[in-house]
Structure 1
Amino acid sequence: MKLSVEISMYPLKDEYIPAIQNFIDRLNQHPQLRVITNTMSTQVFGDYDQLMDVLKQEMRASYEQFGRAIFVCKFIDGDLAPENQDV
């Protein structure tokens, strides 16, 4: 089963950019996932189980390294990556 996730991270500190960039960089280290980042959010596409495992791991790593943050996520089944959509 494929999964599409839109995720936004809001670190609860003044210096928020390093925490966000670190999270995105770590997501990009997982070759089994497709990661698309824009100014508002990051979209991640992949196998349901693999994607959920990566999010679990990387969100925990963010909390441990940078402290409190809010993650706002939207989940939808299927691969909705831009080149996979019918126009």
Structure 2
Amino acid sequence: MKVSIDLTLSPLQDDYEIHVINFIKALRQSDFTVLENPLSTQIYGDFDSLMPFLNEQIKISFENQNICVLTMKIVKTDRHGYEPHF
């Protein structure tokens, strides 16, 4: 089953930028399709392979921070080619 996942990592500490950058770099190094915008990062792929990968990357990121919020939205379809028609 293909999914689209929207992620927003929000470290609640002064050195937040490096944690966000490291998280996005780890996502980019995967075989999954990754798209970014100024507010969030989207990753696309097969649910059964994507979720264990994300679980590990989120754990690594959380272990390197004191306090962090991760907002995740999952859509059951691959939307990486979406283009607005308005």
Distance 1:48 1:29 in 2: 18
For the aligned residues, what is the CA RMSD?
Answer: 1.6
Report the counterpart of residue 77 of structure 1 in structure 2: 76
Shift of residue 2, structure 1, vs aligned partner: 0.3
1:66, distance to aligned residue in structure 2 (A): 2.3
The one-letter code matched in structure 2 to 1:5 is: I
Q: What percentage of aligned pairs have identical amino acids? A: 32
- Unaligned stretches of 5+ in structure 1? none
**TM-score, normalised to structure 1's length?**
0.89
Q: CA deviation at 1:65?
A: 1.7
Unaligned runs of 5+ in 2: none
> Structure 2 length as normaliser, TM-score?
0.90
Query: Which whole-Å deviations, capped at 9, do the CAs of 1:5-34 have from their partners, x for residues lacking one?
Result: 001000010111100000000011111x10
Number of corresponding residues: 85
Where 1:82 maps in the other structure, the secondary structure is: coil
